[in-house]
Structure 1
Amino acid sequence: MKSPVYNVRPVPLEKIRANSYNPNSVAPPEMKLLEKSIREDGYTMPIVCYYIPEEDMYEIVDGFHRWTVMKNCKDIREREGGMMPVVTIEKDISNRMASTIRHNRARGTHSIDLMVNIVAELVESGMSDEWISKNIGMDADELLRLKQISGLAALFKSREFSQAWAKQEDRVGDGV
């Protein structure tokens, strides 16, 4: 059996539906980042579906959030001509459920150490905090925490700090 990825086909958005068993959810910041990724890079991965011939419909096994982006973003939908890149798998419902869970869990998580290194490289190459936040989907607090973890003072070179430890002049007549 060849892998499904060798048979990507464009499918009209209206012929695709969500499944009823996907436990995965994406937080709003990551959903915005996914939308930005699709807007900037296009669809780089097809969604995985099961084709239901009697209904002429495709049910999503993996890719619900990529599908949601197209459904909710008129500009992306228009750019793509209302077509989603789809691969299909032929499995019974139990195995489709297992596939959904495997796809969700196989994505992994980001290593903090590697993220610290990436942020350090971006800062050292001259990227602003605003650029980093916008382009890799971090809020200001997360970016600050990664910089703090690094322990590199150079990562804070563009920050302004208060003079909290500056000596106050004695005020005359206030009993000090």
Structure 2
Amino acid sequence: MSDKQFKSPVYNVIAVPIEKVVPNTYNPNSVAPPEMKLLYDSIKEDGYTMPIVCYYVKSQDTYVIVDGFHRYRVMKEYPDIYERENGMLPVSVIDKSLANRMASTIRHNRARGSHDVDLMSNIIKELHEIGRSDAWISKHLGMDKDEILRLKQITGLAALFRDVKFGQAWQPSSAGRRNWEDDDGWEDDMEG
């Protein structure tokens, strides 16, 4: 698809009954109660100014949240908002693979919020389990190799290190001094 044919999903916002919208299983973003109250106040005063980004699962006729879980929560938890909006959420639909939806969620969250470290490490684990390399994760989630390493260490699973090449850390030079190699185990696999 060329850039001229691409149309941003925000231009096709649809009203969806909240009963058809479901949270994803991997969102690591958390909002403290004061910020949740502020979000409620914002939606109460200004309405929904941003759609909930979802992936449509045709076989189940449901919309899985990619971004906007806390805006969704406001309608679920505050009857006045539910009634005012007639139980309808503004939804923008994207059609992406699970790995790319996870990456989208992380990109949206990292631009504005904090993450639960355990949930974030589980996302790294899940992405590795579906075959994504550290290089793919770095490119698509905007993480550096040290952050990925720390998150892998939290899960404690050796399988997460399967795409890392380990080599000798140094080699003696002809002058008898040590020359450190830059063998960080990263492959240039940026596809995905």
**TM-score, structure 1 normalization:** 0.61
Match of residue 88, structure 1, among 73, 89, 93: 93
Q: 1:5 & 1:91 partners in 2: Cα distance?
A: 15
Partner of 2:21: 16
Identity among equivalent positions (%) equals 71
Does residue 97 of the first structure (1) align with residue 102 of the second (2)? yes
Residue 2 (str. 1) matches residue 7 (str. 2)? yes
CA distance in 2, matches of 1:11, 1:88: 11
Question: Once the two structures are superposed, what CA deviation does each residue of 1:53-89 show, in whole Å capped at 9, x if it has no partner?
Answer: 0000000000000000000010100000000000010
**Separation in 1 of the partners of 2:61 and 2:46?**
30
SS class of match (2:65) = strand
The answer as to 2:78 corresponding to 1:73 is yes
Q: Aligned AA for 1:44? A: T
CA distance in 2, matches of 1:107, 1:18: 19
- The residue that corresponds to 1:43 in the other structure is 48
Map 1:106-145 → 2, pairs under 5 A: 106-107=111-112
Counterpart for residue 163 of structure 1: none
Deviating 4+ runs (over 2 angstroms): none
How much has 1:108 moved relative to structure 2?
6.3
Deviations 1:91-115 (A, max 9, x none): 0000000000000011269xxxxxx
Q: Deviations over 1:129-167 (max 9, x none)?
A: xxxxxxxxxxxxxxxxxxxxxxxxxxxxxxxxxxxxxxx
Contact 2:29 2:113 in 1 (8 A): no
Q: Is the 8 A contact 2:39 2:71 kept in 1?
A: yes
- What is the aligned-residue RMSD (CA, Å)? 1.1
Distance 1:76 1:47 in 2: 15
What SS does structure 1 have at the residue aligned with 2:99? helix
Q: How many residues align?
A: 109
TM-score normalized by the length of structure 2: 0.56
Gaps of 5+ in 1: 110-176
Mapped partners of 1:3, 1:41: distance in 2: 23
Structure 2, unaligned runs of 5 or more = 1-5, 115-192
Higher-Rg structure is: 1
